[in-house]
Amino acid sequence: MSLEALNAELINCRRCPRLVDWREEVATKKRAAFHDWDYWGRPVPGFGDPRARLLLVGLAPAAHGANRTGRMFTGDRSGDWLYRALWKAGYANQASSTDRGHGLELTDCYVTASVRCAPPANRPSSDEKANCSHWLAAELRLLTRVEVIVALGQIGYVELLRQLGPAVPRPRPKFAHLAEVVVPAGPRVIASYHPSQQNTFTGRLTEEMFDAVFLLVNDLLKSK
């Protein structure tokens, strides 16, 4: 299966009734600021360079972000932080992305998430995370050139290490900003605080801290 075929299958998924109901309710009622938008309202596929050496794994689409635009980390504050950082690090051709037609292109980088539908309160259940896990597993198989994976937030980090399986050192390293996990014969994993407003507005994650993640990525890729 190609990434294109995988994504074509993914966007038709209706496996989690609660998430289906929520994503479609949000897409129908909309937010006042986006009342003229035709919301995506479906599972959101990964986005980027299929030959990427860098993979980013987030939590889930935002209700009025990627659930509206149909592209991961597009149209919300988290995406503003992410794509600005990727642009500064040389992985994006522009510093922002407001919709799928905004011209953003990624080079040597692919962006995805552990859950593909917007969850109520940004909190998917354990069953919903389990239901979605095979999409990330398939991407990891298809993105054959990945050398470094950045996990954005603890949920993405835990799911990613679970997917990487028995090769991950035991006990599994705890999540912490800039924590690194070396997977024998596999990718290097870097943990980062998620660029959510909860973290950026409180100062838990600063722009300097976030840029440091991608400076580390660049150093690792240059050393290979």
Q: Which residues contact 105 (CB under 8 A, 6 or more apart)?
A: 92, 93
Q: Supply the DSSP string of 7-52, one letter for each residue.
A: HHHHTT----HHHHHHHHHHHHH--GGGTT-----S----EE-TT-
Average pLDDT over residues 10-18: 98
Beta carbons of 163 and 181 less than 8 angstroms apart: no
Domain ranges, ordered by start, for the chain: 3-222
Q: Does domain 3-222 have CATH number 3.40.50.970?
A: no
**The token pair that represents 59 in the structure block:** 């939590």
Element (H, E) at 113: strand 109-113
Beta carbons of 91 and 74 less than 8 angstroms apart: no
Residue 94 has pLDDT above 90, yes or no: yes
pLDDT tens-place string over residues 146-172: 999 999 999 999 999 999 998 899 998
Question: Which of 201, 99, 188, 204 has the alpha carbon at shortest distance from 147?
Answer: 188
Residue 224 has pLDDT above 80, yes or no: no
The whole-number pLDDT of residue 100 equals 86
pLDDT tens-place string over residues 83-92: 999 999 999 9
Beta carbons of 140 and 178 less than 8 angstroms apart: no
Beta carbons of 188 and 214 less than 8 angstroms apart: no
